[in-house]
Amino acid sequence: MSAKYTNIEQTRLEKVERLRARGIEPYPHRVERTHTSAQVLVEFERAEAAGSEKPLQATLVGRLRSMRPMGKITFAHIEDGYGRVQLFLRANDLGPELMELFNREFDLGDFIQARGEMFRTRSGEATLKVQDFRLLAKSITPLPAAKDEVVDGEVVQHATLSEPELRYRQRYADLAVNPDVRRIFRTRAALVRALREFLDLHDFLEVETPVLQPIYGGAAARPFVTYHNQLKQDLYLRISFELYLKRLLVGGYEGVYEIGRDFRNEGVDRTHNPEFTQLEFYLAYADYFKVMELTEQMILFAADKVLGKHELQYMNHTIQLKTPWQRMELGEGLLEIIGIDIEQHPTAESLAAAMQAKGLQFNPNDTRGKLIDGMLGDYLAPTLIQPTFVYNYPRDISPLAKSLPGNPQITERFEGYVAGMELCNAFTELNDPLDQEARFIEMGHDYAQDDEERHPMDEDYLRAMRYGMPPTGGFGMGIDRLAMLFTDCPNIREVILFPHLRKEEE
RNA sequence: GGCCCCGUAGCUCAAUGGUAGAGCAGUUGACUCUUAAUCAAUUGGUUGAGCGUUCGAGCCGCUCCGGGGUCACCA
């Protein structure tokens, strides 16, 4: 860390020295507080409405966000976790010494405690007339905020911290000065709460499964590798919960879910962070159509709880979440948008030729499934603004999904798309242990020997399947992406408190 | 990883290859109803780091660091 202080910091450190010299501890242990900012404002208005004669006494705490010294009086605003309240300090009430203490030694960003009584200023703002105050914690580094104003109860920033790198590296400062950022994470928390509530109401059991796994699986991604010293064993940070959660259905639970962190050692961009929050649920005796219904109900439920409405605004689109969402068979969607009938092209070679004829971009080494998935991502998905379930996916990109009855090449899998973004992935789970083993072996063939996405065979998972797993519908969704939709954020970093960045220079 | 853009005061931003500036914050002073308070004065810079071109580099070139965008990658 830099040991060098800026001029402003040096000035404030000198204030700390002066405070201690006059017997004032800049970082005291105990705090008194009778009201939050929100409570005192409500209670004051209520007392006014009732025509109460007795003034409302209150002791408030918060961070100094504005100071307007005007000689023998000073106006200031303090901000706590619930809002702001104006303070009024007057030399007549406090005496010249305390007045000087406040004006000279206190800074924006300091946490203070103030006792007094509520009144209304001539311009009409509910304000605490301060009779006594204390420093609670001295701020050394100035908050990266210029001035702001309050318009209709909303804090309007004027030239505040906006450099993305600084905002993410110093999220504490970002949160401290940008109320909209604080709001995003409240919304995110409410969203997760609503999803839990929905699943709990539907009798799902919330469980926790290993983050450190000896064999990773359940998705196609490169894992992070770590090492256990005593066991002398490589361990992988999980890339999905899937294989563990389904073991629990073998164990007899009918519905389980987990909300937790997945880790994927892949590229970082607007919609990908190396660690991200995933929701997966599995429901016995359900198929993928049943999961579609649950999905649309769950998202609608969350919107109702979090946003109080059944639509959301995202990137200038109005997204209607009312059920039922559109269902689109993948092959039909591609035929409509691109004009290629994938059923007419049973091999990668044939499909690639058709794509070539249409002038589409593709990787010539891709399997048929990857070609189809590429067309979906590049051409079909961007058209899916309103919520849409795209269903029936090729076998070779869906190794854990059950095939359609009588059609082994297509699986009962769907993805939910909203605003052109892949939101969730679900299927009728493959519970035939022999078919599953064959799929694992196929995957080994489809990936080159050196392909880092090649998965090790999970023998224990196959053993679990052999005991018998009921017909099951399974579901996975990135919470971060849903949070982006709910908060109208175009970048996943906006909805992750501490997104991954390269390490800072010394 | 490829390509494009960016990095200047605590924050937000200026500055034809020719003395590095502004607003806010800070400091000092004035001010008893302000609220982006106002008024006056004023401090603050290794221009991300380094090397080069040049009489002279914030600006031009190269390398590196960090960030943003985009493509690739991401069943």
| Nearest nucleotide, CA A10 to C1' | B26
CA distances from A375 to A272, A325, A346, A351, A427 (A): 20, 22, 15, 11, 20
Residue A453: pLDDT band by 50, 70, 90 thresholds? low
Query: What's the rounded mean pLDDT across residues A482-494?
Result: 94
Looking across all nucleic acid strands, the nucleotide with the smallest C1' to CA distance from residue A366 is B75
Through-space separation of residue A348 CA and nucleotide B39 C1' in angstroms:
78
For strand B, give the nucleotides within 7 A of a protein CB: 1, 9-13, 23-28, 30-37, 43-44, 65-75
Residue with CA nearest C1' of nucleotide B70: A269
Give the whole-angstrom CA distance, residue A22 versus residue A11: 17
What number is the ipTM of this complex? 0.90
Instruction: State the pLDDT at residue A154.
Output: 75
Instruction: Name every residue whose Cβ is closer than 8 Å to that of residue A208 and which is 6 or more positions away in sequence.
Output: A258, A260
Residue nearest to nucleotide B13 (CA to C1'): A159
Q: Is the pLDDT of residue A506 over 50?
A: no
Is residue A123 scored above 70 in pLDDT?
Answer: yes
Mean pLDDT of chain A: 92
| Statement: residue A415 has pLDDT above 60 | yes
Q: How far is the CA of A92 from the C1' of B28 (A)?
A: 24
At a CB cut-off of 8 Å and minimum separation 6, what does A115 contact? A32, A57, A58, A59, A60, A130, A131, A132, A133
Q: Is the pLDDT of residue A23 over 90?
A: yes
What residue has its CA nearest to the C1' of B35?
A: A149
Distance A245 CA to B1 C1' (A): 35
CA of A166 to C1' of B46 (A): 22
Measuring from the CA of residue A108 to each C1' atom, give the nucleotide at the shortest distance. Answer: B25
Question: For A268 and B14, how far is CA from C1' in angstroms?
Answer: 33
φ/ψ (deg, to 5) at A189: -65, -40
**Per-residue pLDDT, A486:** 95
pLDDT tens profile A136-181: 999 999 999 878 887 777 777 777 888 899 999 999 999 999 999 9
Judged by C1' against the alpha carbon of A377, the nearest nucleotide is: B74
Inform me whether the pLDDT recorded for A431 exceeds 90: yes
Weakest mean pLDDT among A26-30, A113-117, A206-210, A355-359: A355-359
In angstroms, the CA of A33 and the C1' of B57 are apart by 58
Per-residue pLDDT at A10 exceeds 90:
yes
Nearest nucleotide by C1' position to the A143 CA atom: B10
Nearest nt to the A156 alpha carbon by C1': B36
Residue-wise pLDDT for A217-231, tens only, equals 898 888 899 999 999
Residue nearest B37 (alpha carbon to C1'): A68
Nucleotide nearest to A127 (CA to C1'): B33
What was the pLDDT predicted at A221? 86
Distance CA A352, CA A350 (A): 5
> How far is the CA of A480 from the CAs of A365, A494, A501, in angstroms?
32, 9, 17
Instruction: Choose among A480, A399, A467: nearest CA to A433.
Output: A467
Reported confidence tier of residue A239, pLDDT bands at 50, 70, 90? very high
State residue A503's pLDDT score. 82
Distance CA A34 to C1' B28 in A: 38
Residue nearest to nucleotide B71 (CA to C1'): A269
pLDDT digits (tens, 9 = 90+) for A68-91: 999 999 999 999 999 999 999 999
A209 confidence band (pLDDT: 50, 70, 90): very high
Can you give the pLDDT at residue A367? 87
| CB-based contact A112:A133 (threshold 8 Å) | yes
At A446 the pLDDT is: 53
Lowest mean pLDDT among A267-276, A384-393, A451-460: A451-460
How far separated are the first and last CA of chain A, in Å rounded? 7
Q: What is the pLDDT of residue A316?
A: 86
Over range A475-499, report the average pLDDT: 94
pLDDT at A1 over 60: no
Lookup: tokens for A240: 């999905």
Give distance CA A67 / C1' B33 (Å). Answer: 14
Q: Which of A4-13, A190-199, A360-369, A443-452 has the highest mean pLDDT?
A: A190-199
- C-alpha to C-alpha distance for A208 and A257, rounded to whole angstroms: 8
* Distance, Å, A411 CA → B74 C1': 21
What does the alpha-carbon distance between residue A396 and residue A12 come to, in Å, rounded to a whole number?
A: 64
Domains, chain A, ranges and CATH? Answer: 7-142 (2.40.50.140), 181-325+386-495 (3.30.930.10)
Confidence of residue A445 (pLDDT cuts 50, 70, 90): low
Confidence tier at A448 by pLDDT (50, 70, 90): very low
Percent of chain A clearing pLDDT 90 (strictly above): 80
> How many Å apart are A106 CA and B15 C1'?
36
**At A393, which helix (H) or strand (E)?**
strand A388-394
- Per residue, what are the HEC states of A478-492? EHHHHHHHHHCCCCH
Minimum CA–C1' distance nucleotide for A370: B75
